[in-house]
Each structure stands twice: as C-alpha cells, then as structure tokens.
C-alpha cells in the first residue's frame, strides 16, 4: 500500500479541477440539442435541468 503525501493530493485535486474546467468550457460551447427542447424525463424538463446544473457549476 502506498501512502499519499499532501503534494500528490494537491496535484490530483488540481488535475481534477482542470479536467472539470475543460469539460465545462466544452459544454458551454455546445448548443442544446434541438430534439431535446421541451423534452422531459421522469417529469423533469431537460432545458431546466441543464440550466440548474449550469448554475451549480458556475457558482
């Protein structure tokens, strides 16, 4: 078993944050799929779900 030192933990966290930031930028540049506008899954409007998640990620 290897021990994790604080430097490795910080590096891993930085890499994760960079990956999430990259995915978020890609998501922001992509248009919402036209075929899903007005669609619902489990009684949840997908446009509103996308907007709610966007609010959580960007704050």
Q: Which of 43, 25, 46, 44 is nearest to 35 (CA)?
A: 46
Encode pLDDT of 6-20 as tens digits.
556 678 889 999 998
pTM exceeding 0.75? no
Encode pLDDT of 34-48 as tens digits.
999 999 999 999 999
Asked if residue 49 lies in contact with residue 39, where contact means CB atoms within 8 angstroms, the answer is no
């Amino acid at each position: 078993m290897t021990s994790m030192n604080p430097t490795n933990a910080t590096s891993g966290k930085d890499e994760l944050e960079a990956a999430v930031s990259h995915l978020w930028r890609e998501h922001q540049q992509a248009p919402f799929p036209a075929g899903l506008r007005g669609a619902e899954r489990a009684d949840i409007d997908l446009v509103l779900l996308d907007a709610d998640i966007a609010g959580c990620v960007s704050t």
